[in-house]
Structure 1
Amino acid sequence: MTTSVHQLDDGAWLSVNDSRVVNVSDLWWLARHDFCGCEMADFLAEGFVEVGVDPPDVEGRIAGQCIACGESGVTDWLTLGRVVDPERGDFYAVDPTSVHVPERRRRLARSSDRSE
């Protein structure tokens, strides 16, 4: 089954299989290399610029600004969620306050490796 991914409402929403699943009203916690010079940026997402799929991940580039230093621009590709069961269209959005922290990603990867 094909997974449909696109932006809605001038980049305000990420739609997966015709359901609005992620909006840009959140603060995204980004590591230094992801956006600006702040150690951890509280990034105010203003709009999705591009979205795409790198199976099983749904990724996007987001326009916005760091509320600490004021840097504005567009992020690199960020994981916005994961299509877990393409046959049923199950999609799980990420928690923007945790998944983009590199140390947390490494811990999550190690713990998932141990559970298999």
Structure 2
Amino acid sequence: MATQLRVLDDGAWISVNNERQVPNSDIWPLATTDFCDCEVAYVVLEAFTEVGVDRHRVEVCAVGQCIDCGTEGFLDWLPVGRVSDGDFHAFDPTELRATLEPGKNLR
């Protein structure tokens, strides 16, 4: 079963099968060393730039800002949910996660 993914409203939403599912206004705690110098970067996503799928995992590229140090930048392939049996299951944005390394997605 095919799943339709799109960026909507100038980067404000990720649409899955024509339903708005992931907003850009959540704060995502990221265990990352390449976004900023914070041990955990609490990043508010300002706009989605791309959406894709790696096997069953839905990933986005986004522009965001760390709310602790103020660093602004680009996030490469942040997992935001998964597709299982044609249904989308969003990841909890409050759970700590790592960003994917550039080029690691298999799309």
Alignment of 1:75-90 (within 5 A): 75-86=75-86, 90=87
Matches of 1:13 and 1:96, distance apart in 2 = 14
Structure 2 unaligned residues grouped into runs of 5+: 100-107
Q: CA deviation at 1:46?
A: 0.3
Q: Does 1:91 align with 2:78?
A: no
Structure 1 unaligned residues grouped into runs of 5+: 103-116
Q: Does 1:54 align with 2:51?
A: no
Bigger relative contact order, structure 1 or 2 (CA pairs below 8 A, ≥6 apart): 2
- Tell me the residue number matched to 2:105: none
Q: Is the 8 A contact 2:31 2:96 kept in 1?
A: no
TM-score (norm: length of structure 2): 0.86
The SS at the match of 1:76 is: strand
* 1:52-86, Cα deviation, whole Å (9 max, x unpaired): 01120010011011011111011121111000112
Q: CA deviation at 1:99?
A: 4.6
Larger Rg: 1
- Tell me the residue number matched to 2:42: 42
Q: Number of matched residues?
A: 99
Residue type of the alignment partner of 2:97: H
- Tell me the residue number matched to 2:9: 9
Q: Is the 8 A contact 2:28 2:96 kept in 1?
A: no
Higher helix share: 1
Matches of 2:74 and 2:4, distance apart in 1 = 23
Instruction: List structure 1 segments (4+ residues) > 4 angstroms apart after TM superposition.
Output: none
Matches of 1:45 and 1:94, distance apart in 2 = 15
Q: Is the 8 A contact 2:49 2:62 kept in 1?
A: yes
Q: Among the aligned pairs, what percent are the same residue?
A: 54
Q: Is the 8 A contact 2:14 2:21 kept in 1?
A: yes
The SS at the match of 1:32 is: coil
